Structure 1
């Protein structure tokens, strides 16, 4: 794919992209949410933001996309360019914090049109006027979106955002080394202390690490209750941290290396690991009870975007049912369109059960939120790393 992208004459990647889709966009996400709040503190509501020109239905000749590295199929970008005669420039970032800092300091003059924040960051971004309203009349493919991924807490009416990609968190284990059935986060905690002691890995994400303990304790994954977080802290530090070998983002690499038997993982990353492991039949992924994160990256338009018509048209193409399977196959995670599971089945994509959790799993997921208690989660995470010797 990378060589093919290099031959596209009118798609200019202004920053280095990931070497391949094997380095998941989720694997890049660390230090969840904490720096982002700090970056926003420099941009208050009283700051004058540059205005975007009104939409008039005429596509501008240019579009500036600011997104995660290697997070769109270059063939689809080229198809948009060819159809509409629009020069597409793509710049990339490695974290929500980097995106937020760029938009907040530029005050609407960043030059970017379409951006891709994670949903949990959107409420804070809206407080600081970093995103502008979408005109859904210019995005008719919104009618094809799966209701599981519309009207989320961070944007109830999809006024500012539309799902680009989504996934959840669970764990994968080696069934040759761990022979009993595992179904819950409590199973994860118990096994980390027994069969998987010293061969367990956790994600490089404070929210996700605390969520293991909070779920096992029966608490909301987004709790701000200090007593509940203290209970979770004890579980993480006393039961998980001493038995954790590493905190890693690229779970696929951990599976391939063979030195881990139990790994907390995003579902799409686990699928990558299964596709590359020498012994995929010995690994099993679990969507654990009672709950886990439902994360969502979203299409949005930056405040002050100078090419709003092209921005709307681009988003409309990228959520089209006709492009959904191509996007899924390239980035490794599904986009939020209806009927994608059926399309993936026809396309005979591998490990479809890892891409598409059953509805009963979706119904119990809890989307992550940014709260002041993220500072507590970050301290838990730092102390856990120290306890593990990581």
Structure 2
């Protein structure tokens, strides 16, 4: 995984969003899985009997749950919750694969694109949906995903998409597409453009404009995308950053590729939010999803099921959304957010028209090509 170059001071680094560290896909993680082997025997979890254990071990992204909700779970069920954090899917996968069912963790939060490999190597155990009745409250847009079609192992924890944000005082025209993004980077925003430090996301801009699948493994198509990234974008890019909010706050950028929740964070912190506009670009973009899951060998399976059930409850949805900045996939959350008067709701909830055109990212061997494209682009940009 590429190093993350923070524009914010190191002391501020931990404030960057959970999405900030998703630079590329699974080289380390897949290596750990290969070492684990497909037929590795994992330790079995204790049987689920409905009697909550007195402890729960949560292994998740840093600061990715409203602490008040965790405290409420502790008090309601008299369960001690121990929270440990990781900084990448690779770190999570390495921990679970090397401990082979004895990590001691119960609930984990992998990203969807990592789940097929994790299931292939028996790192997650099946959920008992009879213990998660709140699953009935999940929005069908965020169930039945390609990585777990029957939701046997996972439930949406948070989701978002990718677009870009621009300064309307510097860029006077309306931008709507990825082609507009490239054209503007070559003109008004030359030298003040930022791309995400993420191989898949950067390559996706070019693939979208070329009319190809964002997950293509075709070398010819990826070569075409490389030419767009290296020749048409990289010369005009000032920096590759992980969180557009930091670039917006810094003040030297006018056009930034961004996850929607990070743009919302930036709008909340800049002095001139009315001058910025976020775009859900055509023709397509990523639909990423983080997921609740239970690790194979979880020592506290009943508490794990109860915790997941509590965290996807409609009663906790707005508090969780307000804290992490991304929706959690429950029905009617947009209406709840409106009643709660949360800011920048249009960034949190893209329209159904937008959702229908998004393409979830998938791990493939061609991600190594994408990683090389990003490295070459950074070298061309001098970033």
Whole-Å separation in 1 of the counterparts to 2:12 and 2:143:
32
| Among candidates 365, 368, 382, match of residue 358 of structure 2 | 365
2:192 corresponds to which residue?
Answer: 199
Q: TM-score, normalised by structure 1?
A: 0.94
* Count of aligned positions: 373
Whole-Å separation in 2 of the counterparts to 1:158 and 1:20:
34
2:266 corresponds to which residue?
Answer: 273
1:136-215 map, 5 Å: 136-215=129-208
Whole-Å separation in 2 of the counterparts to 1:284 and 1:370:
31
Root mean square deviation, CA, Å: 1.1
1:1-390 map, 5 Å: 22-390=15-383
Whole-Å separation in 1 of the counterparts to 2:266 and 2:15:
9
Tell me the alpha carbon deviations over residues 329-360 of structure 1, each in whole angstroms, 9 at most, x when there is no partner: 00010001000000000000000000000000
Q: 1:66 to 1:19 in 2, by over 3 A?
A: farther
What is the Cα deviation at residue 36 of structure 1?
Answer: 2.1
1:11 corresponds to which residue?
Answer: none
What is the Cα deviation at residue 302 of structure 1?
Answer: 0.2
Does the Cα contact within 8 Å between 1:201 and 1:246 map onto a contact in 2? yes
1:41 counterpart SS class: helix
What is the Cα deviation at residue 81 of structure 1?
Answer: 0.6
Does the Cα contact within 8 Å between 1:166 and 1:334 map onto a contact in 2? yes
1:42 counterpart SS class: helix
Whole-Å separation in 1 of the counterparts to 2:181 and 2:25:
22
What is the Cα deviation at residue 22 of structure 1?
Answer: 4.5
Q: 1:81 to 1:19 in 2, by over 3 A?
A: farther
1:10 corresponds to which residue?
Answer: none
2:4 corresponds to which residue?
Answer: none
What is the Cα deviation at residue 19 of structure 1?
Answer: 6.6
Whole-Å separation in 1 of the counterparts to 2:109 and 2:377:
31
Point out where structure 2 has 5 or more consecutive residues left out of the alignment.
1-10
Whole-Å separation in 1 of the counterparts to 2:13 and 2:247:
17
2:58 counterpart SS class: strand
What is the Cα deviation at residue 34 of structure 1?
Answer: 2.9
Whole-Å separation in 1 of the counterparts to 2:38 and 2:13:
39
What is the Cα deviation at residue 256 of structure 1?
Answer: 1.0
Whole-Å separation in 1 of the counterparts to 2:227 and 2:23:
22
2:350 counterpart SS class: coil
Q: TM-score, normalised by structure 2?
A: 0.96
Does the Cα contact within 8 Å between 1:301 and 1:311 map onto a contact in 2? yes
What is the Cα deviation at residue 31 of structure 1?
Answer: 2.6
Whole-Å separation in 2 of the counterparts to 1:35 and 1:109:
20
Whole-Å separation in 2 of the counterparts to 1:72 and 1:20:
18
Does the Cα contact within 8 Å between 1:21 and 1:332 map onto a contact in 2? no
What is the Cα deviation at residue 29 of structure 1?
Answer: 1.6
Does the Cα contact within 8 Å between 1:22 and 1:272 map onto a contact in 2? no
Does the Cα contact within 8 Å between 1:221 and 1:366 map onto a contact in 2? yes
What is the Cα deviation at residue 251 of structure 1?
Answer: 1.1
User: Which segment drifts farther, 251-260 or 147-156?
Assistant: 251-260
Whole-Å separation in 2 of the counterparts to 1:76 and 1:253:
27
